[in-house]
Each structure stands twice: as C-alpha cells, then as structure tokens.
C-alpha cells in the first residue's frame, strides 16, 4: 500500500518557518503566559523605584537600599527551588512562581516602611526566580524535542518585546504622575500574573498533550527514568552529584561571562558614553532601542540559523562576538570624536549578535545536559550563575570603570576569551555515559548536536 503524502504546510506555517518561528499551534497558553510575564517584568523594572518614592515617605536612597536587600535575600534560594523542580516538575513551579509574585505585588500596594519593601521585594524576586528556573525545562517540554533552538529564541524575542511594551506602558503611567495611576499599574500586574499562573498550570490537559503528540504531558520527576550511563535501580544523588559534574560546571562558568556581558547596557553603557566619550544621553537611548529592536525582530531568524549547527560552535561564536564588541567599546577612547558614533554602532551590533547567538544554546544546554531525575538541582546551580553574577557585576564593573575607563572592557574581553576553552567539548559524552541509553531516552549527543529529536 502506497504511503499517503503529507499535506502541504499552510501559508501561515510557511511564514513561521521562514522567520525562524516554531510551530505555535496549540501552544497559545504557554506563549501568552510568557508574554504576560515579560510585560509584567517590564512594568516593574521600569517603575518600582518611582512607585515607592511616590507612595511612601522614604527617600530615594532608602527605597533603593530596601529593594537591593530584598533581591540579595533571594540569592541562595535557587538551590531550594531546584529541589522543588525535581519533586513537582516545571509546570507547577512556573505557575507557583507567578502566584508568588502576585502575593508580592499585593504586598507592594500596602508597603510604607523599608522593612515591608524588603519583605515584598524578596517575595516578588523569589517568584521571578522560580518562574525563570522552571521556564527553560518547560520550554523543552513544550517543544517535545522538536525545534528547541527556535523555541528558546522565540521565548527570548517574546521577552524583549514584552519588556519593551511593559516599559512603554509604565512610562505612560509615570507621565500621569498620580499615586492612583501607579497603584493601577500594580493592580494590573496582580491580575495578569494571576492569569499567567493559571495558563501555565492548565497546560497539562490542554496544549501540551494535545499539540505535542504522544508522551506524557509533563515529566515525572518523582519516578525518574534511568539517565544515560547510570546503573539500574532507584537513581540517587543531590547537589554533590551536580558539583562533581565538571562538564556542567564548565557550562555554568561560561554562562557567568554571558551574565556579566548582559549587564553592559544597564550598568556601563550610559555612564561610559556620556562621561568618557562625551556622547549625548539621547544617542545612548537610540542604541539601547537598536539593541532591543534587533533582538525582537531578528532573534527568531538567528534561531533558524542556530538549529542547524552544534550548540558548542554557536557558543564559541557568541563569545568571540562579545570579545570583539568589548574591544571596539574600549578602543573608542582613542578615536576622534567623529568616529565615536560609528564605533558605538559597530560595537552595539556585534554585542547584539552575540546576545542573539548565546541565549538559545545556553538555555537549551542547561536543561538537556542535566539528568532528568536531578534536572531541578542542576538548574539551581545554573541559576546561581545568574543570581550571583547579576549581583556582583554592577559593583565590580562600576569599580573598574572608576579605576580607568578601559578597565571594564579589558575585563569583559578577557572573560569572554577565557570562556572559549570551557565550551569546547561540551557536546562530547563522557566515557562513563557512552554505553547505550535506556529505551525511551534520547541520546544526549543527538540533543547537543542540535538535530531534531522526537
């Protein structure tokens, strides 16, 4: 009997494929939840400080200190969230993260003292950490081994679009200038994050199982499958196992260089350009918009290119593009004034290309390199690179800038170049795991080489 030919893809699907978009059919809840979270984060990041300055009697310094302390208190919690991921799975943790943030936003509405701001900032950041820790494995779950690079690129682009629109919406609220307007924005955040949590929590019986085809709606961490290369029997291990996995720790160390790089726009660019290069602040704003627009418009196309290549190759390119960008940023100090703007443009384009290349493979590898029964703990350690790096980077980079305008760029170039040998060989399975994987498991080599797996 002759096999039936596959139906031709629809025009919309052909457009999706051409633009590097994953197949979005049946994934509406997941996409909407990510968009809501990105919008909410854009709102909060843009106006939280002003919200408390306007709604409390505290000074700007006191508000900033309280928010910082609240965020620092979350630093050790990725390790705890990792255990919850292993026990309950990513869908539950992501939904809970949204609802924890809801509690924090409600607390913001009734905060008047510094200790209250510390408490509720801690709650909001705890929810945000849970969301982002669970979102990567949830993305793998939604992708079902197909178009993973496209899915991670799409989520990244969605985040940039959401943050941009969220920031614009918060700017409108701030222009109104009333306390009632600021409180209204916070109430909107409460409602939307609650809805996002519900959308994620209901993925099991709706979009994931229906759109993804065969297979369980969610991994079952409580009764894990045997990981490749492990002996039969009940799997065991904890954070000691993670700390012994030198391949994964190399990925974590590599990500620290990307974490430092990600702070360039928020920490260094404006101060460096205005104070050391004598560039107008409005020009800096143009380059920031350029970065956001490039990621929003081109990230999915970059993901289309990435999916046909080994993640290790892409990561090396991202690190080298970052290094080149930082060399150009530092070189601007010795260029004549007429060349500085052109140099900033070149540096920003190189930096943005590195951002688009680096994000999908690091997110994907952080999940697929971890054995399923300890995936949450692995991601807990991986998240520490973001938490600790994000906390250290502003202080370290500004201290270097104070010591000399070129120093932060020398440092960033050095850690980008030094990370290259850490990446090499990440896609090689260790000898202990070279034996046949158990039935139902995907060969990690297939996962790391970027081939579609089903």
Please state the domain extents for the chain. Answer: 28-211, 239-428
Nearest-angstrom CA–CA distance, 270 and 274: 6
Nearest-angstrom CA–CA distance, 295 and 274: 24
Q: Which two tokens stand for residue 236?
A: 């065991």
pLDDT grade for 140, boundaries at 50, 70 and 90: confident
93-102, 288-297, 425-434: least confident range: 425-434
Nearest alpha-carbon partner for 412 in 334, 343, 350, 337? 350
Q: Is residue 306 a contact partner of residue 149, using CB atoms and an 8 Å limit?
A: yes
Is the pLDDT confidence value at 272 over 60? Answer: yes
Residue 250: strand, helix, or coil? helix
The b/e string for 49-75 (b: 16+ C-beta within 10 A; e otherwise) is ebbbbbbbebeeebbeebbebbbebbb
Residue 277: strand, helix, or coil? coil
Q: Which two tokens stand for residue 105?
A: 């936003």
Residue 436 confidence (pLDDT): 35
Q: How far is CA 297 from CA 151, 273, 290, in A?
A: 15, 26, 10
| CATH class of the domain comprising 28-211 | mainly alpha
More reliable by pLDDT, 196 or 453: 196
Q: Which two tokens stand for residue 90?
A: 């990513």
Average pLDDT over residues 253-273: 91
Nearest alpha-carbon partner for 76 in 376, 394, 384, 389? 384
Q: Is the dihedral of CA 319, 320, 322, 327 positive or negative?
A: positive
Nearest alpha-carbon partner for 129 in 216, 87, 70, 178? 70
What is the DSSP-derived secondary structure letter of residue 228? Answer: T
Is the pLDDT confidence value at 249 over 70? Answer: yes
Is the pLDDT confidence value at 177 over 90? Answer: no
Residue 206 confidence (pLDDT): 36
> What pTM was computed for the model?
0.78
Query: pLDDT tens, 201-219?
Result: 988 643 334 433 333 334 3
| Length in residues, the chain | 454
Nearest alpha-carbon partner for 370 in 358, 359, 378? 378
Residue with tokens 């984060």: 41
Residue 170 confidence (pLDDT): 64
Q: Is residue 22 a contact partner of residue 151, using CB atoms and an 8 Å limit?
A: yes
Nearest-angstrom CA–CA distance, 92 and 164: 28
Same fold, 28-211 and 239-428: yes
Count the neighbouring beta carbons within 10 Å of the beta carbon of residue 112: 11
Q: Which two tokens stand for residue 358?
A: 């680096």
Query: pLDDT tens, 2-44?
Result: 555 556 666 666 766 666 777 777 788 888 888 888 887 777 7
Residue 378 confidence (pLDDT): 93
Residue 438 confidence (pLDDT): 35
User: CA-CA-CA-CA torsion for 147, 443, 308, 253, nearest 10 degrees?
Assistant: 90
Residue 159 confidence (pLDDT): 80
% residues pLDDT > 90 (the chain):
36
Query: pLDDT tens, 348-391?
Result: 999 999 999 998 899 889 988 989 889 889 999 999 998 888 88
Residue with tokens 């070149």: 346
| CATH class of the domain comprising 239-428 | mainly alpha
Nearest-angstrom CA–CA distance, 419 and 250: 9
Residue 20 confidence (pLDDT): 72
Cα angle value 228/381/268 (rounded, 5°): 130
Residue 441 confidence (pLDDT): 36
Residue with tokens 């408390």: 52
Nearest-angstrom CA–CA distance, 315 and 312: 5
Strands (E) located in 309-437? none
What is the DSSP-derived secondary structure letter of residue 453? Answer: -
Nearest-angstrom CA–CA distance, 364 and 152: 7
| Mean pLDDT over each residue of the chain, to the nearest integer | 81
Nearest-angstrom CA–CA distance, 189 and 37: 9
Nearest-angstrom CA–CA distance, 278 and 264: 18
Query: pLDDT tens, 414-438?
Result: 999 999 999 998 876 655 444 333 3
Is the pLDDT confidence value at 119 over 70? Answer: yes
Count the neighbouring beta carbons within 10 Å of the beta carbon of residue 105: 26
Among 23-37, 100-114, 218-232, the range with the most confident prediction by mean pLDDT is: 100-114
More reliable by pLDDT, 414 or 176: 414
Q: Is residue 201 a contact partner of residue 92, using CB atoms and an 8 Å limit?
A: yes
More reliable by pLDDT, 440 or 385: 385
């Amino acid at each position: 009997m002759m096999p039936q030919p596959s139906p031709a893809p629809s025009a919309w699907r052909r457009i999706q494929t051409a633009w590097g978009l994953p197949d979005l059919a049946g994934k509406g809840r997941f996409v909407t939840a990510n968009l809501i979270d990105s919008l909410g984060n854009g709102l909060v990041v843009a106006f939280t400080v002003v919200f408390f300055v306007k709604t409390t009697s505290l000074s700007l310094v006191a508000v900033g200190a309280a928010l910082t302390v609240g965020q620092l208190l979350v630093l050790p919690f990725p390790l705890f969230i990792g255990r919850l991921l292993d026990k309950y799975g990513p869908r539950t943790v992501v939904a809970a993260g949204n609802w924890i943030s809801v509690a924090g936003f409600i607390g913001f509405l009734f905060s008047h003292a510094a200790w209250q701001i510390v408490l509720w900032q801690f709650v909001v950041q705890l929810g945000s950490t849970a969301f982002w820790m669970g979102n990567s494995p949830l993305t793998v779950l939604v992708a079902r081994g197909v178009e993973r690079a496209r899915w991670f690129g799409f989520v990244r682009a969605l985040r940039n679009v959401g943050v941009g629109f969220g920031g614009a919406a918060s700017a409108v609220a701030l222009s109104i200038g009333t306390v009632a307007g600021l409180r209204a924005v916070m109430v909107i955040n409460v409602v939307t994050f609650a809805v996002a949590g519900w959308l994620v929590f209901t993925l099991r019986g709706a979009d994931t199982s229906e759109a993804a085809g065969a297979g369980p709606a969610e991994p079952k961490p409580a009764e894990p499958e045997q990981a490749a290369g492990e002996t039969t029997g009940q799997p065991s291990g904890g954070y000691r196992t993670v700390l012994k996995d030198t391949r994964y720790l190399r990925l974590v160390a590599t990500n620290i260089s990307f974490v430092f790089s990600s702070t360039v726009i928020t920490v260094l660019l404006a101060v460096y350009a205005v104070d050391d290069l004598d560039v107008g602040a409005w020009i800096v704003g143009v380059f920031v918009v350029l970065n956001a627009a490039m990621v929003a418009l081109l990230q999915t196309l970059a993901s289309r290119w990435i999916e046909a290549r080994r993640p290790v190759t892409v990561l090396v390119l991202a690190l080298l593009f970052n290094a080149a960008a930082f060399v150009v940023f530092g070189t601007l100090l010795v260029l004549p004034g007429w060349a500085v703007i052109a140099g900033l443009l070149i540096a920003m384009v190189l930096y943005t290309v590195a951002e688009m290349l680096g994000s999908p493979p690091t997110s994907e590898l952080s999940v697929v390199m971890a054995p399923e029964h300890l995936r949450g703990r692995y991601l807990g350690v991986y998240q520490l690179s973001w938490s600790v790096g994000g906390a250290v980077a502003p202080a370290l980079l500004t201290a270097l800038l104070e010591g000399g305008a070129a120093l932060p760029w020398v440092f960033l170039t050095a850690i980008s170049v030094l990370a290259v040998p850490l990446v090499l060989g990440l896609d090689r399975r260790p000898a202990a795991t070279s034996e046949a994987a158990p039935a139902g498991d995907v060969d990690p080599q297939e996962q790391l080489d970027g081939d579609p797996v089903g």
